[in-house]
Amino acid sequence: MKKLTLSLATILATSTLTFAGGDIAPIEPIIETPMVVEEEVTDSGLYIGLGYSLLRSESKYDGHDLANDYSAVMGQVGYKFNEYIAVEGRYWYGLGEELDNLDAGVFGTFDSEATAWGIYAKPMYPVTQELDVYALVGYGAASVNGTKFSNGTTADVEVTGLSWGAGIAYSFTENFSVFADYVDFYDDTEQVNSGNFENAFDSINLGVTYKF
């Protein structure tokens, strides 16, 4: 009787598993992988820079030419909104002069100082992660103070207006970069001693920038 009861129980159990779909597979626990949120890297912020410049002044006075090169220190302060656009202010202070051509018939002595400044919009294009090319478009002024004529009069030569430039910058760390660029100032003409004084200024600049 016990054998019959055990056999019936076994048959019923086997039938139940068969109707239920066969073997019962073990339930595996669901392991949730935590999402890693990467911090967004922004290429923006305040930056400052210091450079060495060759500031060149060229003037014509009634057909007489005067060209002068000034070694200059250039300081810059800017703000980078993103990798494509920034605003920047610059100031040049001339350290010395080297006369290229002095017309003794008009200019007696030449004892002068050169300064310049500019405010620019700075569109940029990242060629690589480290290398950028950029343009400068804005308003600026450049002046040479103390130009003396042979008749004893003195003139301050100045141009103001559109200023533009172009350059490249290379970042060798996250904060430090080096740059090289060219900046041109608007050519201007003014009346000096009953004559036309045509002025032109430009600069070549090399420097280093620190971004906060």
pLDDT digits (tens, 9 = 90+) for 32-66: 666 655 555 567 899 999 999 998 887 776 667 77
| pLDDT of the residue at 178 | 97
Could you tell me which CATH class the domain 45-211 is placed in?
Answer: mainly beta
Contact 68, 110 (CB under 8 A): yes
Task: Tell me the pLDDT of the chain (212 aa) as tens digits.
Answer: 544 454 545 554 555 544 445 555 566 667 766 665 555 556 789 999 999 999 888 777 666 777 778 889 999 999 999 999 999 999 999 876 655 545 555 555 556 678 999 999 999 999 999 999 999 999 999 888 765 555 566 667 778 899 999 999 999 999 999 999 999 998 776 666 566 667 788 999 999 999 99
Q: What pTM was computed for the model?
A: 0.70
Burial 108-147 (b: 16+ CB within 10 A, else e): eeeebebbbbbebebebeeeeeeebebebebebbbbbeeb
Domain extents in the chain: 45-211
Identify the DSSP state of 18: H
